Amino acid sequence: MNETLSLVLACVAGGLLGAMFFGGLWWTIRKGVSSEQPALWFMGSLVLRMSVAVAGFLVVGGGHWERLLSCLLGFVGARLVVTRLTRPSGEHPARPAQEVLHAPGS
């Protein structure tokens, strides 16, 4: 297979793994905070998401560091996309956060 094509496919696979990982994290947080047993949700999700992500990286990498790096690039890119898509509608990234004053009289 052409080396460029294998790197592109590794990046796409990393993006899919990242979308699953970070989308699953978002879903877990939404379900876990309203659950009777949040620790079970968070631990179960962590184990499942990590297992799939690590297995995916091992399969995609196949002993080639170039494919592994390309997969990681797609994974990080998916994090950026999922973070932007799951941001609450009232939050604007361009506006700086207001300073919080904790001490009275400050």
Q: What is the pLDDT along the chain (106 residues), one digit of tens a residue?
A: 698 999 999 999 999 999 999 999 999 999 999 989 999 999 999 999 999 999 999 999 998 999 999 999 999 999 999 999 988 877 666 666 566 667 676 5
Q: Are 76 and 13 within 8 A, CB to CB?
A: no
What pLDDT is stored for residue 45 in this prediction? 96
Count CA atoms closer than 13 A to 15's CA, side-chain side: 10
In a domain, 7, yes or no: no
**What's the number of domains the chain is made of?**
1
Residue 45: domain span? 19-85
Query: Nearest 5°: CA angle at 57, between 30 and 68?
Result: 125
